[in-house]
Amino acid sequence: MPTWLITTFSGTVGLVLKIVLLCVVNALTIWAAAVLADHHKWRAFGVLILAALAIDAVYLLNRKWTLPLKFLLPGTVLLIAFHVVPVIYTINVAFTNYSTGHILSRSEAIDSIRQNSLTESANGASYAMTLMRDDAHRLVLALVDQDSGETYIGTREGLKPIPRGDVTIADGTIASAKGYTKLPLRELGSVDTELSDYKVPVGGGKAIQPQGFDSALQLQPTFRYDAKANTFVKIDNGAVYRDDGLGSYVAASGDEIEPGWKTYVGLRNFSRIGHSALIRDPFLKVLVWTLFFATSVVLVSFALGLLLAVALNKPGMRLQRTYRIILVIPYAVPAFLALLVWQGLLNDDFGVVNNVFHTSIPWLFDPWWARVSVIFVSVWLTVPYFFLVCLGALQSIPAELTEAARVDGGGAWQVFRKVSFPLLLVAVTPLMIASFAFNFNNFNNIYLLTGGGPAVGNSPIAGATDILISYTYKIAFASGKGQDYGLACAIAILIFVIVGTISAISFSRTKALENLA
């Protein structure tokens, strides 16, 4: 770094920048603290305040112990924010039932069940409705009972009678009311969302709910909540729905009330992977394919990359640089763009590949051809990487070693097999392990090329080319009743364990290669 740059930012300019950045950090802290306090997240609130005070202390105090922290703190904060917190959150969710229908808290779920269970009754009152606003600009319902002709003002707090002398009725509806302003027609569209969940409680669990913009009905509850027994009772047949300990109210018949709530379920998600045939069988098939996919892509790419590196490592070869540039082009093209291009090239109806070779191979729509296509495209994207790695490793091998082997009578193949290849493996094996881990979780190559399809068997989730990470994505967003985040996080943990175990074993084996070399 230039000396003038260090000098500039060490003086007044640096002090001003530090104060400005600290002001921004503290402003964001105040905003975040207000949000957390509003949602009663006191534990996170305390952690946030302590972290902000610690940052201020490190950068405002000139002490010997603060100097190294000034350099370590930014990286530590980013590490915690982007690695530690997501990992902890994933582990936490894996032990819950967090999914569609189990997102709310328990109290919120009970309130939602009460609201959602309201239905129209045969003898329920009906009202002619006019939308109005009170002095505080809150939306209210001006109601006329169509049987008795009584007039009311309905709010979210309850129903209030209003004297006939304070209202003007035209065509059976309230045209004006003292203390209230009729909602203009141009504003009707803006209150549509608010009206959809607007309910006026009238006692006994009953409520009045708007039906469009000009009428309302009195609804009665389908369920009655017993707070002492923590049960819901179905009013028409007396069926009792009890807390099943898994975030739902369930009857003896197995009937379940929705929504449920988010709660901890222990190892249930991991147990489902092992005991539920609907999850276990596709999981095992996807695991086998994932291992084969990652292994084949790495080995084939390494073999081709090494072959090309050996061929283009000969000194004096004509157009050597041109060949190298051509081979590196796939590595320079953004992968997502290349995948979308290959998706078009391999289309069985109008794709260039079938048209050029006069074939009609269903590259992306037949299970086996789709697997071939995924491996082929992944190899095409990976070969340039291994070509560069192998070329660099070959050029780093001391020429004295190969020359000595030739003097001892070794041929080209013997020199390569006995000298060059073992030394190359010492340098390349860790990169092959990293490439295996990358391809094991290569979501882009699968999802952008085939979307995990085509469908096979009777599995509604796993497709022929799905690897574990794309299978997990589908579980998180498209399984069962919808999103199943808890199960997806459990599988994500298993993926980490599998990749970590394979990588650890593989790295331990590299020591043997070093001794061999």
Residuewise pLDDT in 10s, the chain (517 residues): 556 555 655 667 777 888 888 899 999 999 999 999 998 889 999 999 999 999 888 888 888 888 888 888 888 888 988 999 999 999 999 999 999 889 999 999 998 898 888 888 777 789 999 999 998 889 999 999 988 889 999 999 999 999 888 899 988 899 999 989 998 888 888 888 888 888 899 887 889 999 888 999 999 888 989 989 999 999 888 899 999 999 999 999 989 999 999 999 999 999 999 888 888 888 999 999 999 999 999 999 999 999 988 888 877 677 777 878 888 887 788 888 899 999 999 988 888 999 998 888 999 999 999 999 999 999 999 999 999 999 888 888 888 887 887 877 777 788 888 888 888 888 898 899 999 999 999 999 999 999 888 988 777 788 899 999 999 998 888 665 568 999 999 999 999 999 999 888 887 777 655 555 5
What does the alpha-carbon distance between residue 62 and residue 372 come to, in Å, rounded to a whole number?
62
The verdict on 69 and 118 lying in the same domain is: no
160, 152 in Cβ contact below 8 A?
A: yes
End-to-end CA distance of the chain: 39
Exposed, middle or buried, 1 (CB in 10 Å: 0-12/13-18/19+)? exposed
Q: Which two tokens stand for residue 104?
A: 């709310």
Q: Quick check: is 59 in a domain? A: yes
Q: Which of 406, 405, 402, 353 is nearest to 377 (CA)?
A: 353
Identify which of 174, 170, 126, 163 has the alpha carbon closest to the alpha carbon of residue 148: 126
Q: How many CB atoms lie within 10 A of CB 226?
A: 11
Instruction: List helix spans (H) across 80-130.
Output: 85-94, 106-116
pLDDT at position 188: 81
Write out the residue range of the structural domain in which residue 179 sits.
Answer: 107-257
Q: Are 117 and 79 members of one domain?
A: no
Please check whether residues 379 and 498 belong to one and the same domain: yes
Among 208, 223, 257, residue at a domain's last position:
257
Is 87 in the same domain as 117? no
Q: Is residue 354 part of a domain?
A: yes
**Residue 265 domain flag:** no
* C-beta of residue 273 within 8 angstroms of C-beta of residue 462: no
Give the contacts of 153 (CB within 8 A, at least 6 positions apart): 132, 140, 141, 142, 143, 159, 160, 162, 177, 180
Shared-domain flag, residues 144 and 67: no
Give the pLDDT score at 230.
92
The SS3 of residue 212 is: coil
Domain finish residue from 62, 94, 126: 94
β-bridge pairing 231-234 and 223-226: antiparallel
> Do 113 and 70 share a domain, yes or no?
no
CATH number at residue 392: 1.10.3720.10
Residue type, 488: A
Same domain, 143 and 177: yes
Strands, sheet with 240-243, edge to edge from the N-terminal-most edge strand: 223-226, 231-234, 240-243, 249-251, 256-257
Tell me, yes or no, whether 461 lies in a domain. yes
The answer to whether 452 and 462 have CB atoms below 8 angstroms apart is yes
483 and 442 share one domain: yes
Residue 345 lies in a domain: yes
Tell how many helices (H) and how many strands (E) occur in the chain. 19, 16
Cβ-contact 341, 448 below 8 angstroms = no
443 part of a folded domain: yes
Same domain, 58 and 152: no
- Whether residue 493 sits in one domain with residue 376: yes
How far apart, in whole angstroms, are the C-alpha atoms of residue 505 and residue 508?
Answer: 5
**Structure tokens that stand for 395 in this block:** 């050029």
Q: What is the pTM (predicted TM-score) of this model?
A: 0.81
Overall domain count for the chain? 3
360 phi and psi angles, rounded to 5 deg: -135, 45
Is residue 39 located within the same domain as residue 145?
A: no
Asked if residue 504 belongs to a domain, the reply is: yes
| pLDDT confidence of residue 455 | 84
Identify the CATH number of the domain in which residue 133 sits.
Answer: 2.40.430.10
Residues 165 and 73 in one domain: no
In a domain, 263, yes or no: no
Of 392, 309, 381, the residue nearest 342 (C-alpha): 381
Residue 115: per-residue pLDDT: 82
CB 383 within 8 A of CB 304: yes
Quick check: 211 and 192 in contact, CB under 8 A? Answer: no
- The SS3 call for residue 409 is coil
Tokens of 497: 């364990």
| Domain edge (last residue) among 38, 73, 94 | 94
